Structure 1
Amino acid sequence: MLWVPLLLVAFVAAGAGCARVCRASIAAARPHEVPGGTEGLTVREAAYLAGGPLRVTDLTLVSMHRARRLLLAHTGWATVVDASGGDELERAVLGAIGPGGQSPVPAVRPVVAAAASVRLLADGLVARGLAVPEEGRRALAAGVRAVRAGFLLTLALGTVAVLLVPEGERAPVLAAFALPLTGSGLCLLIGLVDVYPNTRWASPAGQRLLSGLSPADPLTALATRGPAVLEPELRAALKGSERSRK
């Protein structure tokens, strides 16, 4: 019965990981609305709730392109056409492109996503109860990692346990390890497919507001559904070409 201690370790690892992700998902989904906090969304706020800072960046780049302030080429380069005026986020884009007036889009996106104006946008949504706080996102991501680690450890321990017993006695061992392996596997699947993506940025109140937005406006569609709704040239520009990364 040398495999029994391994089974106990597997149960503890799988149970701890599942408990951690469940606590994090419950905390992220807990209502924390404030009075008046659900009064409409701007298109940039919708972009943050649907896709985070990089979605806000993509929305700003595309809106500036359509206003003829930027040229987004399918080769993955952004070129400044009009550097005058603009709000803080647009000025962050211009600053990320630099004084030369041209830069690869893959180099611009993370700089703008980390800009103070995007952080202020996020803080405002958190204060209104529409976005998940950063600590909540970190806890949920850590929970998913813990479940993954528990699943892999259970799989490894089960393999070792099967090898420790004669071939004719392996059926009970496999049946015993099937429970923690199935439990942690299902928890990991739910966390990766449903819980984590749906609560990564938007709180339940934010998700309800997003679901009520109409994608008829092209910028709203981009904010809520991402670059997949864009024409191929703009999708290529945001993705960047292999040449622009060199």
Structure 2
Amino acid sequence: MEPWGLSGPQFTGLYFAAVVAGILLTFLLRRLVARRPVPPAQSKLSLREAAYLAGGPRRVLDSAVATLLKAQRLRARRGGWLQAVGKESSEADLARAVYDHVREYGERSLRQVRSALRRHPEVRETRASLVERGLIVPQAWSRALLCALPLLVVLGVGIARLVNGVRLYRPVGNLILLLVCAAIATFVALWPRSPWRSRAGAEVHTAMRSRNRSKNLPVRLPSLTGAAAAVAIGGIAAYPNQAIAQALGASSSSGSSGGDSSSFSSSCSSGSSCGGGGGCGG
């Protein structure tokens, strides 16, 4: 008698369908959770809020760095290092914190600035404001678990079948492949996103990227001109000075820890699907 009343190929075919169904259900649940009410008559979005909506805490800090670079309060050095210019900070709020952090250590990479200040009160307040506006979904494990529940069930059933198949010395190669697919999809579903945009937030984000100031948006967009705005929407690769943008972009992705003494001048020229399976599974 076949375990669970299903042969290996029969279970594999059904399990493949279950994995696909789990992915679809998780996607639908995420869309349902992302439907959040948007309070009427909101004030205009700030540039910091626009940056957070576009890329979370990292983008907020990147925009602050862009502001300081443009004001020549930070200097970009070869190798992607940042150095503070001057001894006193005249900037406000987050930009001042970025400046003071870089000056304290002598030089810092963009990655180090992001890591040190990602939980700065100004960043947390920006997130809270976007939650209140209904533009991002409050992060909570309960919501992530709810959305990933179909995939968790599918994964659990697959593991139970795998254990049963191994005990009965049945071939389980194809089932293992499908379990890997299910595990990857579950990991992606549970991975904390920053930001997790609501449907309204996604609409505003799309409008920011296309510079579309439609009157039908739930909130008015800020001015999207200048270096800080370019970085807020497009990331550090969008900084007008391409030499600096490339150096900082490479540094932030590699996290290298050494610098060259020469610096850029301000005149530098301005970057789950599962395959089907045939056979077994216990």
TM-score w.r.t. length of structure 2: 0.61
Cα distance in 1 for partners of 2:117, 2:106 equals: 15
Within-5 A mapping of 1:10-159? 21=26, 25-37=30-42, 39-82=43-86, 83-135=88-140, 139-140=143-144, 143-144=147-148, 147=151, 150-151=154-155, 154=158, 157=161
SS in 2 for 1:79: strand
SS in 2 for 1:71: strand
Q: Deviations over 1:113-154 (max 9, x none)?
A: 110110011111111111221227x73378559837944972
Q: 1:114 and 1:141, CA in 2 relative to 1: closer, same or farther beyond 3 A?
A: farther
After alignment, is 104-113 or 138-147 more displaced? 138-147
The equivalent residue for 1:209 is: 204
Task: Flag structure 1 segments of 5+ consecutive residues without an equivalent.
Answer: none
Kept in 2: contact 1:78–1:97 (CA 8 A): yes
Kept in 2: contact 1:73–1:234 (CA 8 A): no
Q: Alignment RMSD, CA only? A: 4.6
* Count of residue correspondences: 229
Task: Flag structure 2 segments of 5+ consecutive residues without an equivalent.
Answer: 212-223, 260-282
The equivalent residue for 1:3 is: 3
Question: What fraction of aligned residue pairs are identical, expressed as a percent?
Answer: 27
Kept in 2: contact 1:24–1:140 (CA 8 A): no
TM-score w.r.t. length of structure 1: 0.69
Kept in 2: contact 1:24–1:139 (CA 8 A): no
Q: 1:153 and 1:92, CA in 2 relative to 1: closer, same or farther beyond 3 A?
A: farther
- Bigger proportion of residues as helix: 1
Q: Deviations over 1:31-64 (max 9, x none)?
A: 2211223x43222211101110011111111221
SS in 2 for 1:45: helix
Kept in 2: contact 1:80–1:102 (CA 8 A): yes
The equivalent residue for 1:234 is: 245
Cα distance in 2 for partners of 1:19, 1:57 equals: 35
After alignment, is 210-219 or 222-231 more displaced? 210-219
SS in 2 for 1:208: helix
Kept in 2: contact 1:24–1:143 (CA 8 A): yes
Kept in 2: contact 1:148–1:188 (CA 8 A): no
Cα distance in 2 for partners of 1:117, 1:81 equals: 23
